[in-house]
Amino acid sequence: MSEPIVVTTEDRVAIITINREARRNSLDHVAMGMLFDAFTACAEGDVSVIVLHGAGTRAFCAGDDVKAYAERSAEQSRRHHARGLRLLELIEEHPCLVIAAIEGYCLGGGLELAISCDCRIAARGASLGLPEVRRLGLLPSWGGLTRLPRLVGIAHTKAMALLGQRLSAEEAKAIGLVNEVVPDGEALERARSFAGAYASEVKRDTVELAKQAIVHGYGAPRGAARLLDELSDRALSAGDTLSGAGGAS
């Protein structure tokens, strides 16, 4: 049996593949755990940019594995949900730039996974949505109700989460949910090309500090945000000084 999560690394770029094409790259507890381990390893390794994608072109990720969901007890489901929250938080606050390369379906937990990344490159035929409330009687509670509004606003979030609106890649780009739209079958290659150029140009420490300031400074009172800006800049300057001192010793 092939591994559900596959990681390859070259020139400080990691490609993380959700390798469950037969299940539309949905996440059961095994895949979820391995995905968490993969992002943790990248944080601890010589990686600056991560590209996350699903095997094949039918789906980026269909979210939680419905078959596995039906077989879990209530306690197992609670633990699985908690793992998902920890994973998406790890991705959002990851020291590396994280790019989602989206082909095909990007629904439910799959969309929540994508919006935890820093940017999204989608193939023209991609379909993005949160069907849980209207179709399944469930909640998109891996960030669909809390992280998505920060990207696209309350009105668009309500349309997607409450009304079940499904967006094409172009529609998603128009509201800021997707950064770039490419021809079908080219999302991974475009993301890989961008990642390679970015990794050669930008210091990981700088990216990490910038991400932390964005994530934790959003919505903060003006004084707190200003302090965060100042402390981030001081931390970066101190890091450069220490690096220089270390290199001279």
Task: Show which residues are catalytic.
Answer: 112, 132
Token readout for 122 is: 């989608």
Three-class secondary structure of residue 118 per DSSP: coil
Cβ neighbours of residue 227 under 8 Å, at least 6 residues apart?
Answer: none
Q: What is the DSSP letter of 188?
A: H
Burial 81-96 (b: 16+ CB within 10 A, else e): eebbeebbebbbebbb
Give the angle subtended at the CA of 151 by the CAs of 128 and 114, to the nearest 5°: 45
Cβ neighbours of residue 108 under 8 Å, at least 6 residues apart?
Answer: 62, 63, 64, 129, 130, 131, 132, 140, 144
